[in-house]
Amino acid sequence: PVLAGMNGSAIENFSCVIYNISLMNCTWQAGRDAPGDTQYFLYWQKSRYDDAMECELYIKDENGRNMGCRFQNVKIKNEIAYFLVNGSSKDSLIQFYKKSIQLYKIEKLLPPSNITVNCDETKNDCIIQWQRPQIDHSNKDECFKYEINIKYK
């Protein structure tokens, strides 16, 4: 589709991150040439087959302009989610911004839990065990790679 609206009015630097398994924050910056009264609105679809939903909890800047959104109870599927940010201004038409994201790629994982270390000085070895972080979209342990940094004193 043709991008209607004033050049440079669409949002910039759009990014989202999922944390604590089901919380998602999306943020952006106002278009560099957007009029000062521009207000932005975020819509997203969890998959191609879901209805689009508008953000329910906007993050606002000091001027009351929507510059992000907080989502709760996000379910991560292996499908692609679709985001659209449009804007309005009394001075001009605002270009929209769209992006598709595989949600599992933006998930910030919790650290492993229940870490235990058992060392046997006579054998000169240690056994380190842990539980993988909880995630919403997979029960596969092979999805994880771990790095252990051992420092001797």
Cα–Cα distance list, 86 to 38, 89, 105, 116, 131 (Å): 10, 11, 24, 50, 42
Residue 65 CB-half CA count within 13 A: 21
* Predicted pLDDT of residue 47: 83
The pLDDT tens digits for 65-124 are 999 999 998 888 777 999 999 999 998 999 999 999 998 889 888 888 899 999 888 888
Segment 10-30 mean pLDDT: 94
pLDDT top residue among 25 and 20: 25
Is residue 6 predicted with pLDDT exceeding 80? yes
Segment 143-148 mean pLDDT: 78
Complete domains list, the chain, with CATH: 12-105 (2.60.40.10)
Q: Tell me which residue of 84, 85, 110 sits closest to 22, measured CA to CA.
A: 110
* Predicted pLDDT of residue 49: 84
* Per-residue DSSP letter, 103: G
pLDDT top residue among 8 and 142: 8
Is residue 43 predicted with pLDDT exceeding 90? yes
The DSSP bridge partners found for residue 71 are: 24
Is residue 2 predicted with pLDDT exceeding 60? no
* Predicted pLDDT of residue 141: 62
* Predicted pLDDT of residue 93: 93
Confidence of residue 30 (pLDDT cuts 50, 70, 90): very high
Task: Sort residue 46 into left (φ over 0), alpha (ψ -120 to 50) or beta.
Answer: alpha
* Predicted pLDDT of residue 38: 95
